């Protein structure tokens, strides 16, 4: 019988789902995922073989996946991305929230005019890490991502243009109001609410191992995006009734409920 497609799958790109599979299961199983196994796993997500192959080709062109020399029919994540995925594990699977008294991480950068394109790279990287913007060349985030930020800048070869500071804010404007200027919270709130609306019904569904895998991979893929839009802003500085509280609780429950049957499905395919 054909499986009903999970509601989130229609909005998640196949490349993103493939990256989740490699990050969550490929790394834990020696690194390599045979293409035949990947096609079967992606079929559970409603993606056909042709789309899987073309998506893998694009990921190879981007340097995300590499062919396994010991197995021409398999692929693995590029070794250069290991620290990126390790940092992603912390973001996705660990609850990380700063408190209002924790230090803030400030990033200031200066790029010579002759290297102007690097400014765009720096802004793009800081945005990807979840930084808010205080002014044109000054960005802010909770101090708990200091190590992750330092590593990301070093890997991108941009650390020489940046100064990092940890400290407290002493301005007179209420901190909660400042936070709402540094981050576009109007963007985040509906994304959290959409996550809750999409995945809360999964907890009542009692899915098969195959469907648990489908929902789990889709949930991780969508949650990963949210964790990089919000780097752990203290809840006390966010609006009342912030949907992120419910979304974090829901993801924890999804992980506890879906991870074991999803792992069984992967084992059945790959062992």
pLDDT tens readout for residues 112-142: 888 888 888 999 999 999 999 998 889 999 9
Q: Is the pLDDT of residue 40 over 50?
A: yes
* Chain segment 22-31, per-residue pLDDT in tens: 999 998 888 8
Categorize the per-residue pLDDT at 192 as very low, low, confident or very high, splitting at 50, 70 and 90: very high
Residue % of the chain over a pLDDT of 90: 63
Predicted local distance difference test score (pLDDT) of residue 143: 95
Map out the domains of the chain as residue ranges.
1-101+183-271, 104-167
Cα–Cα distance measured from residue 31 to residue 78, given in angstroms and rounded to the nearest whole number: 10
Q: Is the pLDDT of residue 9 over 50?
A: no
For helices 146-155 and 82-93, give the axis angle rounded to 10 degrees: 160
Q: Cβ–Cβ contacts within 10 Å for residue 244, how many?
A: 23
Do 63 and 70 touch, CB atoms closer than 8 A?
no
User: Lowest-pLDDT range, 87-91, 194-198, 233-237, 262-266?
Assistant: 87-91
Domain 104-167 matching CATH 3.30.70.240: the answer reads yes
Give the dihedral of Cα atoms 184, 185, 188, 194; nearest 10 deg.
-140
């Amino acid at each position: 019988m054909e499986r009903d497609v999970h509601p989130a799958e229609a909005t998640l790109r196949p490349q993103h789902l493939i990256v989740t599979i490699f990050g969550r299961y490929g790394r834990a199983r020696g690194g390599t995922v045979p293409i035949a196994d990947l096609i079967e796993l992606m079929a559970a997500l409603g993606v056909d073989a042709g789309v899987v192959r073309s998506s893998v080709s694009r990921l190879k062109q981007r340097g995300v996946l590499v062919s396994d020399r010991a197995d021409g029919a398999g692929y693995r994540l590029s070794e250069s991305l290991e620290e990126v995925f390790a940092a992603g594990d912390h973001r996705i699977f660990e609850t990380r929230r700063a408190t209002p008294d924790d230090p803030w991480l400030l990033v200031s950068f200066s790029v010579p005019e002759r290297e102007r394109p690097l400014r765009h790279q720096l802004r793009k990287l800081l945005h990807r890490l979840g930084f808010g913007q205080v002014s044109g060349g000054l960005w802010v985030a909770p101090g708990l991502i200091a190590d992750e930020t330092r590593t990301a800048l070093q890997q991108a070869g941009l650390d020489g243009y940046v100064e990092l500071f940890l400290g407290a804010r002493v301005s007179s404007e209420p901190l909660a109001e400042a936070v709402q200027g540094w981050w576009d919270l109007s963007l985040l709130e509906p994304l959290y609410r959409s996550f809750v609306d999409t995945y809360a019904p999964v907890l009542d569904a009692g899915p098969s191992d195959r469907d648990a895998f489908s929902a789990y991979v889709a949930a991780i893929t969508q949650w990963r995006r949210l964790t990089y839009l919000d780097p752990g802003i203290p809840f006390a500085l966010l609006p009342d009734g912030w949907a992120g509280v419910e979304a974090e609780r829901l993801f924890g429950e999804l992980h506890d409920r879906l991870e074991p049957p999803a792992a069984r499905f992967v084992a059945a395919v790959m062992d």
